[in-house]
Amino acid sequence: MKYPACFTPETGGFVVTFRDIPEAVTQGDDADEAFAMAKDVLLASMEVYFDEKRQVPPPSAALPGERLIPLPASIAVKVLLLNEMLAQAVIPAELARRMLTTRQEVNRLIDLTHTTRIDRIEDAMTALGRDLQLTVV
């Protein structure tokens, strides 16, 4: 999952914005710092979506001149899970019931700061009637 970002040259560096995630705006003194800051602000923006239980917009295709900023895979799968739960209007208690587990475990599955085994995300997706598929490109 990679989000396109626009790096706009400004006096003293670059301003970075994301079309798909309008809350994500940052800057850096040079291109490398701006790229690192873009990764940080993208991740921080994901935390806002999760805290507010809002659907995370999927990344669109990059336009000419935009750079792709990747989400860590561990975060990307949690985004997919949260989006599916919201699309189906499944609350953590209901997903826990379907998975035969506790609500606390489901809350950890959708907590960006908690390390989660990928097979538990896969179990959650299965309980939602979906398949989690990974590819290498």
pLDDT at 86 over 90: yes
Instruction: Supply the pLDDT for residue 11.
Output: 86
Contact 42, 71 (CB under 8 A): yes
Contact 3, 62 (CB under 8 A): no
**Residue 135 belongs to some domain of the structure:** no
Non-local (6+) Cβ contacts of 112 within 8 A are 43, 46, 47, 50, 75, 78
Residue 114 lies in domain: 73-127
> Residue 71 corresponds to which amino acid?
L
pLDDT tens digits along 45-85? 999 999 999 999 999 999 999 999 999 999 999 999 999 99
Instruction: Supply the pLDDT for residue 136.
Output: 83
| Domain total of the chain | 2
**Residue 87 belongs to some domain of the structure:** yes
pLDDT tens digits along 7-35? 999 888 999 999 999 999 999 999 999 99
Contact 92, 103 (CB under 8 A): yes
Contact 21, 45 (CB under 8 A): yes
Looking at the structure, do residues 56 and 11 belong to the same domain, yes or no? yes
Looking at the structure, do residues 47 and 99 belong to the same domain, yes or no? no
CA dist., res. 97 & res. 117, Å (int): 19
